[in-house]
Chains A and B, each alone.
Chain A
Amino acid sequence: MNIEAIRAIYMFEMARFFRTYRQSLLAPVISTSLYFVVFGAAIGSQINQVEGVAYGAFIVPGLIMLSVMTQSTSNASFGIYFPKFTGSIYELLSAPVNFLEATVGYVGAAATKSLIIGLIILATSFAFVDVSIAHPLAMVAFLLLTCLSFALLGFIIGIWAGNFEQLQLIPMLIITPLVFLGGSFYSTTMLPPFWQAVTLLNPVHYLISGFRWAFYEQADVPVGISLLAIAAFTGACLAAIAWIFRTGWRIRS
């Protein structure tokens, strides 16, 4: 195991994050605050409660998930796409590094970044609404798993992408809609039965539901299923990455 390589990749990627801390940290805090102002204060005041939780507080888990998922994906995809774009990936390919080490380094750093962002948003939300966390350990576990699995997805996207447009395509066209439609800002029980059934096809729905359960013990789907869904998603991403490195798909000719 090339521990030094993992450390080097991880530190290098984290340095990129801290170099652009204004963009990396301030932007999610500002956009989250805006969500609280719009959904919490303006619209939320017109909505009584959702499943016994004040609307402003109800959206906190969804908001964190929204940021964490998009940040994990974009950080990890950028982290591996950028060396491909500049050509500096030659170094990784010629180094005594296997797929697991490279993945741990890049994905670990991307997941750490989005975890930091998630925790900052959580801290910010305490300033706006009354948040309670019923199962702190489960909350952290869900948060970690989400950071990790979406960073894995981002890593795959970064390897696949041939240009900047493709790099943005999946997060924009797939992840953001899935998060919005997965019940980040509403309980799916509010939907008509047909749309409730459709939502069950949305993998993100299970994560948001599980995460919200950790806060308010209120979930759209049983928490066990949520855990299973995220485990399956993580497993699928890992299998895809293992295949990519074995075949050299898109990175090694």
Chain B
Amino acid sequence: MAPIVRVNDLRKRYASGFEALKGVTLDIEEGEILALLGPNGAGKTTLISTVCGITTPTAGTVTVGGHDIQRDYRAARSLIGLVPQELSLEAFETVMNAVRFSRGLFGKPRNDALIEDLLKQLGLFDKKDSKIMALSGGMKRRVLIAKALAHEPRVLFLDEPTAGVDVELRKDMWKVVDNLRKTGVTIILTTHYIEEAEAMADRVAVIDKGQIMLVQDKAELMRHMGRKQLRIHLAEPVAEVPFALADYQLDLATDGASLIYTYDTRAERTGITALLNELQRAGLQMRDIETQESSLEEIFVGLVKGDAA
């Protein structure tokens, strides 16, 4: 099946001369959750804004559901829902009216049953006649999601859905997104919280300085890019790493009771067998061994730093 969103060599240079996107190419598959991960100012919001039609691209093309976002903007935009980063809402309007407005704006006939259903899904139903200004930040975020979904889009962009949201609400939002996925909506979310990408995404795209650094299946990314640590607990503490093991660049824990070996899971040989043999030969008794996988965060920092070097 053709990707639902195809971004091809997309460039954006603002009037100020700042080049926010330097040739981004990215395919997004139908039904997946893609996390667009990157530090502040990496170009995440510009990328989303351009796909959604808020920003005009300088060069490159984007198709959504096969429709070019510029030539065939009506068809393309009808398929897209956008939840912006800022809580940009008309404060004096009621939740119901605000969501109804969004549906109409996208050319869909009024359907209050559908909107009420949507509000129920998002836990907003009892607030439907409340004015938006009376809602908490978390509730406002849900109103934005309801507005974005009101015209039944097939692709949903969530720009920093949990920015400035407390831990409780963040978990809550993850649940909301998980439920959305079950309805078959393709979700692209930007975040600079690694744990968010780790918790929700199927694939991760890392963007930095206007360029896609990497796009990969999340599990694969963690498997391939991940560095693992082997921690060897010794029966007797040692004062220093034995000279015979110098090649392995081991770290000695402060109490001297364990040795830490860091290895790359992508490497052809991890060196574990040889290390264990060497340990035996050096006469060290092992009490226990354990391995630790690095988090997406560490991978990410490694990538962005590697780029700076």
Contact = CB atoms under 8 A, between A and B. Distances in A.
Interface of A: 2-5, 7-9, 11-12, 15-16, 19, 82-83, 86-97, 248, 252-253
A90 B73 CA distance: 15
A158 to B, nearest CB: 15
A209 to B, nearest CB: 39
Nearest to B20: A253
Contact of A5 (B80, B82, B91, B104): B104
A83 B101 CA distance: 13
A7 B89 contact: no
Contact of B53 (A2, A7, A87, A93): A93
Given A2-B74, A4-B107, A91 B86 contact: no
A96 B82 CA distance: 13
Contacts of B101: 8-9, 11-12
Contact of A7 (B52, B74, B102, B104): B104
Nearest to B91: A86
Given A5-B105, A87-B84, A91-B102, A96 B73 contact: yes
B55 A96 contact: no
Given A91-B147, A96-B73, A253 B55 contact: yes
Contacts of A95: 77, 105-106
5 contacts: A5-B104, A5-B107, A8-B103, A12-B101, A89-B88
Of A5, A12, A95, most B-chain CB atoms within 10 Å: A95
A93 B104 contact: no
Given A12-B101, A87-B86, A95-B77, A2 B107 contact: yes
Given A90-B82, A96-B73, A253-B55, A4 B109 contact: yes
Given A4-B104, A92-B105, 9 more contacts: A4-B103, A4-B107, A4-B110, A7-B104, A86-B89, A95-B106, A96-B73, A96-B107, A97-B105
Contacts of A8: 100-105
Contacts of A96: 73-75, 77-78, 106-107
Sorted from nearest, which 7 A-B pairs have the closest CB atoms?
A8-B104, A87-B88, A96-B74, A94-B52, A96-B77, A88-B88, A95-B105
B246 interface: no
Contacts of A5: 104-107
Contacts of B52: 90, 93-94
Contacts of A87: 84, 86, 88
Nearest to A253: B55
Contacts of B100: 8
Contacts of A90: 52, 54, 82, 84, 88
Interface in B28-66: 52-56
A90 to B, nearest CB: 5
Contacts of A93: 52-54
Contacts of A4: 103-110
Nearest to A15: B97
B14 interface: yes
B239 interface: no
A16 B56 CA distance: 31
Given A7-B104, A95-B105, A253 B84 contact: no
Contacts of B91: 86
Nearest to A8: B104
Interface in B13-28: 14-15
B220 interface: no
A9 B82 contact: no
B147 to A, nearest CB: 7
Given A15-B93, A16-B92, A82-B90, A91 B56 contact: no
Contacts of A92: 105
Nearest to A102: B105
B294 to A, nearest CB: 37
Contacts of B56: 248, 252-253
Nearest to B89: A88
Contacts of A12: 93, 97, 101
